[in-house]
Structure 1
């Protein structure tokens, strides 16, 4: 990918988030200003074909751009918006302007109160629109109709309710619904990996600057072992993310389900370990409101299993392998070696 796009988006996000204090909650007005500036920049449509006003790059080429939401701690769902707009264009789904989030969870409908509640909505308290998949259906919900039940302090999720009659049901065929899910999972993984990279960068810088017994703590062998482990995990997470998008030579093609499951398992499996080591090296300062590390480790922990835990995705991978020609895992692995 041409680094001009990456440099331009990095500069934009750096500018938009430069004034944010690690210990201060961002206001709704500030979120709106950030959303408007990103929308005006055209980056939210970067996965669209050039004829539709996009850049025409593939999903694989966009990996570095999608990660920037997590790396710069952008307070809106940029990556989700990018993939949802590309998906809508590919499947001829008419969606309104604005920022989007996606949820694949149980939408609790209260017939008596005539309301629908989502208890874990990604940016549910701030996003313009949400796509909610549940019970083989997909609904479009708007911010002007929502009622925020609980916005968790410092978190990116909220409990939100809408009047049941305000939800618009989208008539999607099975492949469109599956593509929407796969693209949304991929976007969340990209945000998580971006946050991992930033947490590692902060940890590396802090270990080089923090003095103990007359020398930087990065000179101690135990700390070096911890740093090398984080580096290994972050690299593995990035490789898994890229592999999930490898077969996507077209921006509107959703990631392969099996490769996506492997990436989700890998990233969810190591997420807590990366956050734990980062805080162990930082010590008490890592959880202080004045230091930014907690913003990134919060993203890592909150996003790692938004679409299922590591155990869930491990079971999905195993089921896929065992269903292949009704073979055992050993037979599938040896067959793959023979083919190579």
Structure 2
């Protein structure tokens, strides 16, 4: 079943989300045509229950391959986030809007406005599902066109600020304390896909680039770097998969420990794999014309989003010392056992 959905999404992205399309949208071009193709395919509703119109009834574990493909193809719209946001809205009984939905956390300013300093995909999303800091159980669904936008470092991201009257009119529901966990595990899955894409491109380059009469991939130093990359890529993918499990129940409820392991490991791998890949490619990897930087920019941006590895390492340590686990081995088993409750 998973392969059927993944193959269908891969075919769609191969047609509609080439790197040429990604570059055009990053340069300020419209993302509407790409989103219309995705919306029409039904993938944005993959996590909705079958009882809901157009819902596919997938669990997050079932949908992991779809989330990973979003990173592998550097999809420049929040497909993974929209899948989760629509499912959360359906669970809360809130009417889901048309269009794409980003996830974010924001703080209330003195004038009652809500400020989100950096919204991943904030420039191209239609809506933002935002956790209000200081009121951690509250989530607001806010239209992007009602916000004051400021550019962010990543071309698809933006800082967004909504006035108080927009907040008063926004649909809301309880349960926002888990939104950061949802965002972190979605980013971990997309990081896993982007890491795989970087590794495959680097391996191909090493086998094609000739130096001193043979492919540079034949040199022991390059082989060592590739082996280290492979270790990080596959360990990160396993961690990201575990982050998309939630005990033995088919639910979206995130397990804090598994999400922490997933985001920490993928963020750690992002830093190492990006550095090794650029080392193997040399100066050409940094050029705007070369495709590698499309992916490595995402590795660095997604590593920091929703907390870098240090943030999630702190959470893992807190879970270990607060008495929930008697031994480090117990924590390790709880994080890696796919059937643990």
Normalised by the length of structure 2, the TM-score is: 0.88
Find the residue that maps to 2:252 and give its secondary structure.
coil
How far apart are 1:108 and its partner, in Å? 5.3
Tell me the distance in 1 between the aligned counterparts of 2:299 and 2:234.
15
1:324 aligns with 2:323: yes
Residues 29, 21 of structure 1: CA spacing in aligned structure 2 closer, same or farther, 3 A cutoff?
A: closer
Correspondence for 1:84: 85
Correspondence for 1:160: 160
Residues 19, 230 of structure 1: CA spacing in aligned structure 2 closer, same or farther, 3 A cutoff?
A: closer
Conserved? CA contact 2:325–2:331, under 8 Å: no
Q: What is the aligned residue count?
A: 329
Conserved? CA contact 2:264–2:312, under 8 Å: yes
Larger RCO (CA within 8 A; separation ≥ 6): 1
Tell me the distance in 1 between the aligned counterparts of 2:323 and 2:8.
45
Give unmatched runs, 5+ long, in structure 1. none
How far apart are 1:163 and its partner, in Å? 2.5
Conserved? CA contact 1:59–1:250, under 8 Å: no
Conserved? CA contact 2:25–2:76, under 8 Å: no
1:235 aligns with 2:199: no
Residues 4, 304 of structure 1: CA spacing in aligned structure 2 closer, same or farther, 3 A cutoff?
A: same
Conserved? CA contact 2:128–2:143, under 8 Å: yes
Correspondence for 1:50: 50
Correspondence for 2:140: 139
Correspondence for 1:118: 116
Conserved? CA contact 2:85–2:129, under 8 Å: no
Tell me the distance in 2 between the aligned counterparts of 1:93 and 1:325.
34
Tell me the distance in 1 between the aligned counterparts of 2:6 and 2:289.
29
Conserved? CA contact 1:81–1:101, under 8 Å: yes
Can you list the C-alpha shifts for 1:123-165, whole angstroms capped at 9, x where unaligned? 112210001212223222212212222244x533222233231
Correspondence for 1:262: 261
Correspondence for 1:183: 182
1:107 aligns with 2:107: yes
Find the residue that maps to 1:103 and give its secondary structure.
strand
Can you list the C-alpha shifts for 1:167-186, whole angstroms capped at 9, x where unaligned? 2455433xx32443322221
Q: Which moved further from structure 2: 205-214 or 25-34?
A: 25-34
1:149 aligns with 2:160: no
How far apart are 1:95 and its partner, in Å? 2.9
Normalised by the length of structure 1, the TM-score is: 0.88
